[in-house]
Amino acid sequence: MTRRSVLIGTGSALPKRAVSNAELAAQVDTSDEWIVERTGIRNRYIAGPDETTGTLATAAARAAIAATGIEAASIDLIVLATATPDQTFPATATSVQHALGCNGGIAFDVAAVCSGFLYALGVADSMLRSGMAGRALVIGAETFSRILDWEDRATCVLFGDGAGAVVLEAREVGDDDKGPGILATKLHADGAHGPMLYVDGGVSTTGTVGKLRMKGREVFRHAVTNLASVLNEVLGEVGLTADDLDWLVPHQANARILEATAKKLSLPASKVVITVDRHANTSAASVPLALDAAIRDGRIQPGHLVMLEAMGGGFTWGASLIRM
Ligand code: UT7
At 79, is the secondary structure helix, strand, or coil? strand
Instruction: Tell me if 259 CB under 6 Å of ligand 1.
Output: no
Distance 299 CA to ligand 1 centre (A): 32
Instruction: Tell me if 93 CB under 6 Å of ligand 1.
Output: no
Please list, in sequence order, all residues whose beta carbon lies within 8 angstroms of the beta carbon of residue 6, skipping any fewer than 6 positions away.
168, 169, 170, 171, 173, 180, 181
Instruction: Tell me if 219 CB under 6 Å of ligand 1.
Output: yes
Same domain membership, residue 214 and residue 131: no
Same domain membership, residue 230 and residue 149: no
Same domain membership, residue 242 and residue 169: no
Ramachandran quadrant class, 40 (left: phi over 0; alpha: psi -120 to 50; beta: rest): left
Same domain membership, residue 153 and residue 21: yes
C-alpha distances in angstroms, 256 versus 262, 269, 306?
Answer: 10, 11, 21
Q: Is 156 a catalytic residue?
A: no
Query: What average pLDDT does the segment 145-162 reach?
Result: 98
> Residue of the nearest CA to atom 36 in ligand 1?
154
Number of separate domains in the chain: 2
Catalytic residue, candidates 21, 102, 193, 251: 251
Instruction: Tell me if 153 CB under 6 Å of ligand 1.
Output: yes
Distance 156 CA to ligand 1 centre (A): 11
> Residue of the nearest CA to atom 18 in ligand 1?
38
Q: How confident is the model at residue 238 (pLDDT cuts 50, 70, 90)?
A: very high
Q: Is 279 a catalytic residue?
A: no
Using the predicted structure, report yes or no on whether residue 175 has a pLDDT greater than 90.
Answer: no
What pLDDT is stored for residue 129 in this prediction?
98
What pLDDT is stored for residue 90 in this prediction?
98
* Domain boundary residue, one of 148, 173, 198: 173
Instruction: Tell me if 257 CB under 6 Å of ligand 1.
Output: yes
In total, the chain counts a number of residues equal to 324
Same domain membership, residue 238 and residue 205: yes
Catalytic residue, candidates 21, 226, 254, 281: 281
Same domain membership, residue 218 and residue 294: yes
Instruction: Share the mean pLDDT of the chain.
Output: 97
Decide: pTM greater than 0.95: yes
Residue-wise pLDDT for 292-310, tens only, equals 999 999 999 999 999 999 9
Which CATH number is 244's domain given?
3.40.47.10
Residue-wise pLDDT for 198-210, tens only, equals 999 999 999 999 9
Same domain membership, residue 19 and residue 104: yes
Distance 21 CA to ligand 1 centre (A): 15
- DSSP string for 168-217: EEEEEE-SSTTSSEEEEEEEEE-GGGGGGEEES--TTTTSS---EEE-HH
Distance 311 CA to ligand 1 centre (A): 17
Same domain membership, residue 81 and residue 10: yes
> Residue of the nearest CA to atom 44 in ligand 1?
154
Instruction: Tell me if 312 CB under 6 Å of ligand 1.
Output: yes
Catalytic residue, candidates 102, 114, 226, 279: 114
Helices (H) and strands (E) in the chain, counts: 10, 13
Same domain membership, residue 31 and residue 161: yes
Query: What average pLDDT does the segment 32-45 reach?
Result: 98
* Domain boundary residue, one of 136, 151, 173: 173
Q: Tell which residue, 310, 305, 275, 280, has the closest CA to residue 293.
A: 275
41 touches 35 (CB < 8 A): yes
Report residue 163: phi and psi, to 5°.
Answer: -150, 145
* Domain boundary residue, one of 155, 173, 191: 173
Same domain membership, residue 218 and residue 108: no
How large a percentage of the chain has pLDDT more than 90?
A: 98
Neighbours of 217 (CB within 10 A): 9
Same domain membership, residue 282 and residue 192: yes
Ligand 1 atom closest to the CA of 313, numbered from 1: 2
Q: What H or E segment, with its residue span, contains residue 22? A: helix 21-25
Same domain membership, residue 132 and residue 187: no
Q: Residue 71 sits in which domain range?
A: 2-173
Q: How confident is the model at residue 240 (pLDDT cuts 50, 70, 90)?
A: very high
Instruction: Tell me if 253 CB under 6 Å of ligand 1.
Output: yes
Ligand 1 atom closest to the CA of 24, numbered from 1: 48
Residue among 42, 220, 224 to mutate when testing ligand 1 (max atoms within 8 A of CB): 220
Instruction: Tell me if 108 CB under 6 Å of ligand 1.
Output: no
What pLDDT is stored for residue 93 in this prediction?
98
Q: How confident is the model at residue 52 (pLDDT cuts 50, 70, 90)?
A: very high
